[in-house]
Structure 1
Amino acid sequence: MARRRAQPEELAREGGLVVLSDPRRPGGRLLLQDDMEASYVDLADERHVEFDYLRRLRDLVEVAGARDVLHVGGAACALARALAAGAGGRAMRQEVVEADPAVLEVARRHLGLRRTAGLRVRVGDGRAAVARRAEGTLDAVLVDAFVGARVPRHLVTREAVADVRRVLRPDGVVAVNVVDVPPLHDVRAVAAALAEHFATVAALGAGPTVRARRGGNVVVVGGPPSLALERLRAAAAADPSPAALVHGAQLSALVGGVAPWTD
């Protein structure tokens, strides 16, 4: 008789937030927010990054050699914690701005979020956090924030992206995680905004998704002319969930004249 596959166990429930165990990994914890997967951490190995789109963001931080990083949206701070744990001797200064205080409270109670050197976590609005920053003080801004399944528009308008460009150093990078469906209107609008302020713009995601054939996560990246796209492409191709990288003429064709959002 075939053995029944172990099922996740509900470990905590607070309003629309639910913490589940992962039968595949003893330390694995999945956070659901209104039945959507919001975060995943491994309590035994903070370097583990479960979600493939977060691995794209991690690759960007590593390729760019970023040390001063602002995370707009964080949930249980899985990526920030993984970057801090994997930094080795490289000093990193990270700030996570999460809009929902209940999420951070659940992360502290049930998902192992604790004080970590070089990591500041606070409740707030991501755009306001960018506005408070001095010019040229960051190496990377990572936007992974959602209302429902969509990135909040005010974080990625033409004006918002201009302010991100202001706070980044000349070789700084920005990335926006977008969940979209064909014809990828949100992805196209975000890419158009980034293209107004960054010399290099690219999109990373599953091949059928970045070709607008099916829905999914797309990470839209902006950076300097020197951004090592081939290193990003190689890292994405070697990932357990391989991704394609689209840039240049291919990305321009995808954007197809869509205008960026404005305030």
Structure 2
Amino acid sequence: MNKCLQHAPGYAFSGMREDLYVLELDEMQQSAVDLEDPTHLFFDYTRRIGDIIDRLPDGPLRVVHVGGAAMTLPRYVHATRPRSSQIVLEPSTELVERVRAEAPLPPRSGIKVRPVDGLNGMRSVRDGFADLVILDAFDRARTPTELTSAAFVEDVRRALSPGGVFVANLVDRAPFTRVRDFVAAARDLGSMAIGVEPATAKGRRSGNLVIACGTLPPAPFGTPPPMEYRTFSGRAVADSFGGGRP
């Protein structure tokens, strides 16, 4: 029997199984955590980000997560990249406390949660610290505008190590105005690739678009079947998502 645990206005944990919890915010599923197997990434966009993580150079990573929710991706990095150093920027202390109570992080995980918003938290990250920055933050089902601005992208650039990668999860729909503006702001970070579900790419509905930029590995999203995921890289990014204004 599924269970739902209320823990803050607008939030809920729903147990699909005894060991699987889904965090809901404003009637939108934000995170899914498999407590028995943190490498099980339930949502498709998290699986695509997991693909990028898997293709980065071997060994521990230094990661900054802008947005924490139920800490799905920090747990994944901990499980697949032991001894990684991770910083999570999550301003909701109520949410963090409830996550720790209902879906606790593994002991000695190396995951440090800072109770600060992404804009101010990124400013405090030291120069060249991060091998990977992941933007997965929402306010009322949208990524805050200040976290897709040219100023924020410049702060990410400062915090990235040489060869670092910036990954952003944005929710948008055709004609993808927010994604186009973000692409314009981030295009100087290096190579860029975008992954999107086919229905969203065809303009049928809004959905998650995962944008990766920086020193990208070959085939950063792997080789998902086209009917499951559309990927754009190189010239195709400019052709399909160009024309924005940072």
TM (norm. structure 2) is: 0.91
Unaligned stretches of 5+ in structure 2?
none
Instruction: Report the count of equivalent residues.
Output: 244
Deviations 1:162-185 (A, max 9, x none): 111111112100011001111111
Q: Is 1:216 paired with 2:210?
A: no
2:190 partner letter: A
Deviation at 1:141, TM superposition (A): 0.4
Q: Say which SS state the counterpart of residue 189 (structure 2) adopts.
A: coil
| Contact 1:12 1:20 (C-alpha < 8 Å) held by counterparts | no
Q: What is the 5 A alignment of 1:51-70?
A: 51-65=43-57, 67-70=61-64
Deviations 1:206-227 (A, max 9, x none): 1232354432100111112xx2
Q: What is the 5 A alignment of 1:164-243?
A: 164-195=156-187, 197-224=188-215, 227-234=216-223, 236-237=224-225, 242-243=228-229
Deviation at 1:57, TM superposition (A): 1.5
CA–CA distance in structure 2, aligned partners of residues 13 and 99 of structure 1:
16
Deviation at 1:152, TM superposition (A): 0.8
Structure 1 residues 37, 109: CA separation in 2 closer, same or farther (over 3 Å shift)?
same
RMSD of equivalent CA atoms: 2.0
Deviations 1:203-259 (A, max 9, x none): 1111232354432100111112xx22425242x449xx9322112222112233111
| Contact 2:8 2:95 (C-alpha < 8 Å) held by counterparts | no
Structure with larger Rg: 1
1:36 partner letter: M
Percentage of pairs with the same residue:
32
CA–CA distance in structure 2, aligned partners of residues 115 and 210 of structure 1:
40
2:30 maps to which of 23, 38, 47:
38
CA–CA distance in structure 1, aligned partners of residues 139 and 9 of structure 2:
16
Deviation at 1:34, TM superposition (A): 2.0
Deviation at 1:112, TM superposition (A): 2.4
| Contact 1:189 1:259 (C-alpha < 8 Å) held by counterparts | yes
CA–CA distance in structure 2, aligned partners of residues 67 and 35 of structure 1:
33
2:221 partner letter: L
CA–CA distance in structure 2, aligned partners of residues 75 and 114 of structure 1:
16
CA–CA distance in structure 2, aligned partners of residues 200 and 158 of structure 1:
17
1:142 partner letter: I
1:3 alignment counterpart: none
TM (norm. structure 1) is: 0.85
Deviation at 1:9, TM superposition (A): 2.4
CA–CA distance in structure 1, aligned partners of residues 238 and 106 of structure 2:
43
Deviations 1:76-109 (A, max 9, x none): 101101220222xx43111111121121122112
CA–CA distance in structure 2, aligned partners of residues 14 and 98 of structure 1:
15
